Chain A
Amino acid sequence: MRLKLLAAGALLGGFLGPAPMDAHHSNAAMYDADKRIVIRGQVTKVQWTNPHSYLYLDVKDPSGKVVNWALEGFPPNTLLRTGWKTSMIKTGDTLSVEGAVARDGSSHLLAREITLPDSQKLYWGPER
């Protein structure tokens, strides 16, 4: 897996640009990339959809109440091109996810790095 990601990274390296691309919408309009958190919980649903993929995670808040978080990321075509397989995540898996919080205070996260049950780390979405 690491080799595959390395190869993808090497090839995509030629495509890196300093200016953010236009995309489906401005991520800055929804997420504050300077306010980042790590959450850990159980997968309730995986949605490989355009224009964004979503993972839903049941996370216990400090009071013990379970909140379902929506973790937004790249479209499925991009995830596939960066080494993801749909078989890598299934309902019930416990994951840690780092990302940027939603500006409207909802339980949405622009998910950057996901740590899979086997400790493998992969990018689910852009940093900002």
Chain B
Amino acid sequence: MLKRLHLSIAVLLLSGTVSAQAPATAVPRTPDGKPDFSGVWQTGGISLSGTQANVVAAAPAAPAPAAPGGGGAAAKPSGEYAALPTQPSLQPWAAEKVKGLTAKDDPTVRCFMPGVPRAFTMPMPFEIVQTPKQIVILYEAFRAFRIIPIDGRKPVGETLPGYMGDANGRWEGDTLVVEVKNFNGQIWGPGNMRVTSDAYQVTERYTHRGDTIAYEARIEDPKVLTGPFVFRTTMRRPPETRVAEYECLEGNNDIPHLVGQ
């Protein structure tokens, strides 16, 4: 008990100190002058000291409240998506379908890839590898990866729908904008969007803030939603770590015991 308390206090004090001393870091740049997103990032994590809510409430330099359905602290809304709701509004047929779903119906329970932007809500790191022609994101969770062309290449096209979609990136000033389409209608969206169709599409905006990346995703699905909504999160650099193996099938023993929502 004493050790646990000791650990809790240390987490609170040291995390506050680290945050308080952290100066605004300049945005790193690639040789061609673009913001350099390279490296290992994470949106959320784990608590070593009791309940997460208690720790955050007591910490002097706690992160801002998380976006609903998201992981980690919320990014500040940009002008672009500020007016959008942060929760999905489902069409009546979709709302009816969701009522009958349980935790067992989550595709990730069977180790399918979580889709975009849900891959950014997992409590595991991911690595961004940036070149002048493409940006690659290697997710530890569910062994997912994405290749995002930023050189004007044509998208793969709708003949090859998938769990992680077909991405196409471009620069808008210093913001990386990625349009993702051609999903397979099998994934869940962020928050309580437990149904998607093949018309699901995401427009992501990545903005480098030096120590963090502010992330916003505009979610559309004209077959499922009554209108678009926005998902936000903040990416941070975890303590020195590397993206590791995650073979989700090897110890996936829980499905028969999932009895609740």
A residues near B, CB below 8 A?
Answer: 2, 5-6, 8-26, 28-30, 47, 49-54, 70, 72, 74-75, 77-78, 80-82, 102-104, 106, 108, 113, 120-121, 123, 126-128
Alpha-carbon distance between A2 and B2 when the two chains are bound, in angstroms: 12
The answer to whether A18 and B56 touch (CB under 8 A), given A11-B239, A50-B250, is: yes
Let me know if A21 and B44 touch, CB within 8 A.
yes
Other A-B pairs beyond A29-B260, A30-B254, 20, CB < 8 Å: A9-B48, A10-B11, A11-B239, A15-B46, A15-B72, A15-B238, A16-B11, A16-B56, A17-B73, A18-B65, A19-B66, A19-B69, A19-B71, A21-B45, A21-B71, A24-B108, A25-B254, A26-B261, A54-B251, A108-B257
Let me know if A14 and B123 touch, CB within 8 A.
no
Q: Does B24 contact A (CB under 8 A)?
A: no
| Choice from B4, B47, B140, B248 contacting A121 with Cβ under 8 Å | B4
28 CB contacts below 8 A, A to B, read: A2-B3, A9-B49, A11-B18, A12-B11, A14-B18, A15-B44, A15-B45, A15-B72, A16-B45, A17-B44, A17-B73, A18-B53, A18-B65, A21-B71, A22-B122, A24-B248, A25-B108, A26-B106, A26-B258, A28-B260, A28-B261, A50-B245, A51-B251, A80-B244, A81-B239, A108-B257, A113-B4, A128-B51
B residues near A, CB below 8 A?
Answer: 3-4, 6-7, 10-12, 14-16, 18-19, 42-53, 55-57, 59, 62-63, 65-73, 102-104, 106, 108-109, 111, 114, 118, 121-124, 140, 236, 238-239, 241, 244-248, 250-254, 257-261
The answer to whether A75 and B246 touch (CB under 8 A), given A11-B239, A16-B63, A25-B103, is: yes
Alpha-carbon distance between A84 and B247 when the two chains are bound, in angstroms: 19
| Choice from B52, B118, B253 contacting A22 with Cβ under 8 Å | B118
Contacts of B47 in A (CB 8 A): 12, 16, 126-127
Alpha-carbon distance between A75 and B253 when the two chains are bound, in angstroms: 13
Let me know if A21 and B236 touch, CB within 8 A.
no
The answer to whether A52 and B7 touch (CB under 8 A), given A15-B44, A21-B123, is: no
Contacts of A77 in B (CB 8 A): 124, 140, 244-246
Let me know if A29 and B103 touch, CB within 8 A.
yes
Let me know if A5 and B65 touch, CB within 8 A.
no
Alpha-carbon distance between A26 and B43 when the two chains are bound, in angstroms: 18
| Choice from A9, A15, A30, A49 contacting B7 with Cβ under 8 Å | A9
Most chain A CB neighbours (cut-off 10 Å) among B16, B122, B124: B124
A57 to chain B, nearest CB (A): 15
Contacts of B72 in A (CB 8 A): 15, 17, 21
B48 to chain A, nearest CB (A): 5
Contacts of B260 in A (CB 8 A): 26, 28-30, 103
Contacts of A24 in B (CB 8 A): 108-109, 111, 248, 252
Most chain B CB neighbours (cut-off 10 Å) among A6, A29, A47, A82: A29
Let me know if A13 and B244 touch, CB within 8 A.
no
Least CB separation from B49: chain A residue? A9
Let me know if B251 and A22 touch, CB within 8 A.
no
Let me know if B52 and A17 touch, CB within 8 A.
yes
Contacts of A12 in B (CB 8 A): 11, 45-48, 238-239
Least CB separation from A72: chain B residue? B254
| Choice from B46, B67, B251 contacting A78 with Cβ under 8 Å | B46
Let me know if B108 and A9 touch, CB within 8 A.
no
Alpha-carbon distance between A127 and B52 when the two chains are bound, in angstroms: 9
